[in-house]
Amino acid sequence: MPGPFDALEKEAESLENQSKDEFGRKNFVMAISLLEEAKDLYTKLGFQGKIGMINQRIARLKNLVKFEKQDTMVQTKSEQDFQKRVQKVITEKERYQEKQEKVQKSLSPGMKQKLEKITLLKDKAEKEEKLNKYSRVLGRYEYILELYKSIPSEMMDTRKEIYEIEKKISFIRTKV
């Protein structure tokens, strides 16, 4: 015949099982809470061996929670560092664009027209490249290269752009 202590023992075991389920769901705080309740019941029953085992589990879960918090803080710090780097790159890009705009404003109307033409040709070439019309793309990039080379170096430094276009041309020649 079951006694009153059997019900307490079953309830404590049920709490332990619920704790395992919560652990499986990575809900560690709830798992600790359930183990604390089970520990209280085992204390009433006088099961010292079970109490010791539950204390060890609780300690491991608390360490796990502490480790998880530290990991989250490290992750947050690395995310902040990444955002700072991204912001720095964006700021640098904006500064470069502002510099380019200043240079364009100081250029003669003919030079502005040439740079606008280059931008337009680049856009068309990129669209046609996506459509695999490589012979037309090659012609456009060669024309862009001629336009860049016709810009005097004292007016604007186009070495980087020329290098990029030459790289594009050699890449597209492999496709044609």
**69 and 111 fall within a common domain:** no
Average pLDDT over residues 34-46: 89
Instruction: Give dist(CA 7, CA 18) in Å, integer.
Output: 16
**Alpha-carbon gap, residue 94 to 12, rounded angstroms:** 64
Count of domains for the chain: 2
Measured CA to CA, the distance from residue 161 to residue 149 in angstroms comes to 10
Mean pLDDT of 24-46: 88
Q: In terms of pLDDT, which residue wins out, 67 or 11? A: 11
Per-residue confidence (pLDDT) for residue 36, from 0 to 100? 92
Final residue of a structural domain among 106, 121, 137: 106
The model's pTM is 0.42
Which of 126, 129, 104 lies closest to 114 in space, CA to CA? Answer: 104
Do 111 and 97 fall into the same domain? Answer: no
- Domain that residue 19 falls in: 1-106
Tell which of 106, 133, 164 closes a domain.
106
Co-location of 26 and 101 in the same domain: yes
Domain boundary among 56, 88, 106: 106
Amino acid at 42: Y
